[in-house]
Structure 1
């Protein structure tokens, strides 16, 4: 049981044509998406504000020693001035604002004590000490400069630093408010974005499912079910990731990077340029990572597809596996596929294990450059410590969007491949469509006519060749023949599951290609050889969730086809749950439910496609009784191998290799001793043998 699980190529990371189509789905939700983008601007602003607030706290309200203080004998206009021993002290931010002859002072922190020193002098980069001489304090600067100093008590320190305490408290409240605001904005943004994205994906899935329902059976003959399920599930989920993580959140990364660059350049151009020296290394590493991870990512997708396919095959065919004792062989095959998936995942983990630490090393290198240069600037008094602190934080933030952009590239690439597959499916036109000017009908009498019909599933490999016959309203006609003679194909053509290549099929004198598909199929009931049961209840499977069919009507048709007696014996009766494919029901019970399902819609034409081939003798007798009642005043077409089920039909048409070889009733065909006679002898040779 070899398997081929090749996955389509990932393709380009960005395709403007595909993106334009994807954006059309987002158009109805543009207002929500724009609100989400606008919120991202504020969220990026919140992220940028946090380090800057801390920088203000450090430079303006914590590290205020060695900051010039103006001294006044009379109270200045500024209410920030501090009264101490008859003089007013007012701290200023920049020594450049000092005027000639202005009395000054400054606070100095030395050996756990705080001193008020007369005459401001910058101590940055200078050696200094404070000595005590006869209960007086002297500040010594560079061994040759001295300044009188006064040690301040805790109360006096509080007096001088009171405005700083108030400012720090206020800034802490602002910081907390910003964090809270950021949380709320993030919550609203994520909710709005995911709401819009889920609505978009919901509509894409709805469109895909609706499109699949409109496709002709020939489409499903060529496309495996697993592939179509993947389009509706996995591929749409990949698009969901693109809408949520790339389409809108990409703006946050751009806003954040732009804001960080602007703030860093405004704070210190030279230090910012030094910080940016690691950016080329980051871009090269990201590009190398992207090329490597793309190959591995595709390999992982192929292997996981293999696991899914193997699981589907083995679980579906578990009965066969047990019957032929193939458990070990199938386990070995699955183990091989699973191991290949493990190896592919190891490769992916290995690449990520190299890339992420590499990014951390590059970021650490950037930090080292900042600390090396910025630290020297701080020690030399050229730059404030808060600026260095902010730079370190901004550099941490700077790397996050770059890492995010690398991951977004992979999501975008996968989304482009998924969207290409989805649109290829949506662009596939149904082979069977309604006519441009259809003929509206209210009901059908049931007359069917084939005129010189030729049909092939592929090219000119003809299944039906020059088929002509007429079925009158209310007649029961059977088609018989060897396997591959074309019996089921006739049923498919009457329902317009496929279109013919030559000839004409008429229903009530109207070409079926001129009748709307829904109206045509509404008037035709089919009971297939393998009756398909949906998950739900017995009632749901008879009415197919058609709420217009009442419980009384459901029970009536069930009694009509002799299904009521076994339904009443079930624990839940008509509400008895039906498992997937009706596995808890016998084949005979499923077939009886299929009869009830067909009759619940009261069709003008009833088609029985090998409907009794899987039925036991007892159930066959029940169905034979039902069939006798069903065919009254209803055109009935029976396709059967078991000739016992069609002996009472008005007409029997014998097909052989796509041609009509014989036509007539049961007795007349036996008298001809042709193909039908031989088929009859083969089926009943034991009963015909002399006892």
Structure 2
């Protein structure tokens, strides 16, 4: 099987590259949304300083203010102010308010409790129109991030289509070559092989078993790479946001691998039995159809029906046992 994949490595690598880009877009989209919300929508809260530049500044009570992204930077001493949200209302405070302090508004003044002390500051409640003035400098960035967010989804869909196309193309070419070689091999086998092997089993090996290769490349390989890249992106994001929480969740990985090993141990034997019974069913159908005249001539219909039901019931039981072996995971 890997020999066939190496013969089509360019197409296969192209599919995996497209898949990696598509999953990367899927993983990047939440980061774009997070930056949009935290920095440009909710980020209007915080420190503002007076500025002489009108571009990218908010106009309030005759002065222009720009948002301070770095509170520790220069220019925070003179003309600094704080925009706060308390409850459902926004307040403009012409002073620097510690973000971690406990805040409440009493009689039009802001009461701040921090480090065991209590201070009061003048606070002006903003109207909706005044708040729009502070949001207005963020509009270009918000529009750009929204455009980028939908562009990532569009790119993801485009590259997922390319990945699916190249994987299908690879799988179809591999199946074509495998069936050609299998048919050539069949023609060289001795007569004794066909005397001991039902025709239906041989047909099943050439058709059904090779068709399973398509599932391997189109579904299994795609899901494996998709899951690996997505999981890597999730853990990278978790380490970026909270290293301790991410380290705790690393303990889940060995549990997942153990779960996979257990599933493979219990399900593989059932899968082999399912394929064997499927071949026997195909063999019986082939022989019954070819010998239908003889079956009817000797009144063997009832006996053939019982034998077929026996095979079909066994196939059904193995399918159910495979599903029950580990219910949380799908069968193959």
Q: TM-score range by the shorter chain?
A: 0.7 to 0.9
Query: Is residue 60 of structure 1 aligned with residue 39 of structure 2?
Result: yes
Question: Which residue does the alignment assign to 2:314?
Answer: 340
Greater share of helix residues, 1 or 2? 2
CA contact 2:80–2:94 (8 Å) conserved in 1: yes
Maintained 8 Å contact 1:321/1:327? yes
Counterpart in the other structure of 1:644: none
Out of 232, 235, 238, which is 1:261 matched to? 235
Residue 312 (structure 1) aligns with: 286
- With normalisation by structure 1, the TM-score equals 0.44
Q: Is the 8 A contact 1:138 1:146 kept in 2?
A: yes
For 1:258 and 1:238, the matched residues in 2 are separated by: 28
Q: Does 1:130 align with 2:109?
A: no
Give the SS at the match of 1:63.
helix
Q: Which residue is 1:164 aligned to?
A: 138
Q: Do 1:66 and 1:123's aligned partners in 2 also have CA atoms closer than 8 Å?
A: no
RMSD (Å), alpha carbons: 2.7
Q: CA deviation at 1:65?
A: 5.2
**Cα deviation digits, residues 169-211 of structure 1 (max 9, x gap):** 2211111111111111111121122112211211221122233
1:37 to 2:50 alignment? no
- Count of residues in Structure 1 that have an aligned counterpart in Structure 2: 329
Aligned partners of 1:62, 1:268: CA distance in 2, in Å? 22
CA contact (8 A) 1:40 1:249 kept: no
Correspondences of 1:426-465 after superposition (within 5 Å): none
* Distance in structure 1 (CA, Å) of the matches to 2:192 and 2:311: 31
Contact in 2 for aligned 1:33/1:193 (Cα 8 Å): yes
Alignment of 1:320-469 (within 5 A): 320-353=294-327, 355-356=328-329
The aligned counterpart of 2:62 is: 86
Higher RCO (CA-CA < 8 Å; seq separation 6+): 2
| Superposed counterparts of 1:292-691, under 5 Å | 292-353=266-327, 355-356=328-329
Which residue of structure 2 aligns with residue 200 of structure 1?
Answer: 174
Q: Deviation digits for residues 569-620 of structure 1, max 9, x if unmatched? A: xxxxxxxxxxxxxxxxxxxxxxxxxxxxxxxxxxxxxxxxxxxxxxxxxxxx
The question of whether the paired residues in 1 share the 8 Å contact of 2:199 and 2:287 is answered with: no
d(CA) in 2 for partners of 1:103 and 1:57? 27
Given the alignment of the two structures, is residue 110 of structure 1 paired with residue 86 of structure 2, yes or no?
A: yes
Structure 2 stretches lacking a partner, 5+ long: none
Choose which of 117, 121, 125 in structure 2 pairs with 1:147: 121
SS at match of 2:250: helix
Which secondary structure does the structure 2 equivalent of 1:256 belong to?
helix
Contact 1:265 1:272 survives alignment (8 Å): yes
Whether the aligned pair in 2 keeps the contact of 1:46 and 1:179 (CA below 8 Å) is yes
The aligned counterpart of 1:241 is 215
Instruction: Provide the rounded CA distance (Å) in 2 between the counterparts of 1:138 and 1:155.
Output: 21
Q: For 1:235 and 1:328, how far apart are their aligned partners in 2?
A: 30
Deviation of residue 308 (structure 1)?
2.7
What per-residue deviation string (whole Å, max 9, x for no partner) do you get for residues 634-683 of structure 1? xxxxxxxxxxxxxxxxxxxxxxxxxxxxxxxxxxxxxxxxxxxxxxxxxx
With normalisation by structure 2, the TM-score equals 0.87
Residues 25 and 289 of structure 1, relative CA distance in 2, 3 Å threshold: closer
Cα offset, 1:42, TM superposition: 1.1
Name stretches of at least 5 consecutive residues in structure 1 with no aligned partner. 1-21, 357-406, 412-691
Change (3 A) 1:28 1:100: closer
Measured in 2, the distance between the counterparts of 1:290 and 1:276 equals: 22
Give the Å deviation of 1:273. Answer: 1.1
Distance in 2 of aligned mates of 1:42 and 1:50 = 12
Residues in 2 aligned to 1:341 and 1:218: alpha-carbon distance in whole angstroms: 28
Distance between the aligned counterparts of 2:302 and 2:191, measured in 1?
A: 37
1:180-199 matches, cutoff 5 A: 180-199=154-173
Residues of 1 paired with 2:156 and 2:316: CA distance?
40
1:101 alignment counterpart = 77
Q: Distance in 2 between matches of 1:210 and 1:267?
A: 58
